Amino acid sequence: MSRKDEQTNVRIPLELKEWLKTQAQAARRSVTAELVTRLEESRKAQEGRGLSGQELQVKGA
């Protein structure tokens, strides 16, 4: 990550934060790097299925 990368504050449940921290440690990454990796993987999977954001909202509802 670069200092030029955008910063965003996100509120998540403590349980999820602790899980993410554990996963990051297991992968020898920072929590930020783990989160970015997982978001990128999720985006690739979504794009691979050809789903739009609107379709995801409908399916998740």
Within-domain flag for 52: yes
Within-domain flag for 1: no
pLDDT digits (tens, 9 = 90+) for 7-41: 999 999 999 999 999 999 999 999 999 999 999 99
Residue 52 banded pLDDT, cuts 50, 70, 90: low
Residue range(s) defining the domain that contains residue 29: 14-60
Within-domain flag for 5: no
Within-domain flag for 18: yes
pLDDT at residue 56 above 80? no
Domains of the chain: total: 1
Tell me which amino acid residue 17 is. Answer: K
Within-domain flag for 41: yes
| pTM value > 0.85 | no
* C-alpha–C-alpha distance, residues 4 and 23, integer Å: 25
Q: Where are the alpha helices (DSSP H) in 1-61?
A: 14-26, 31-49, 53-60
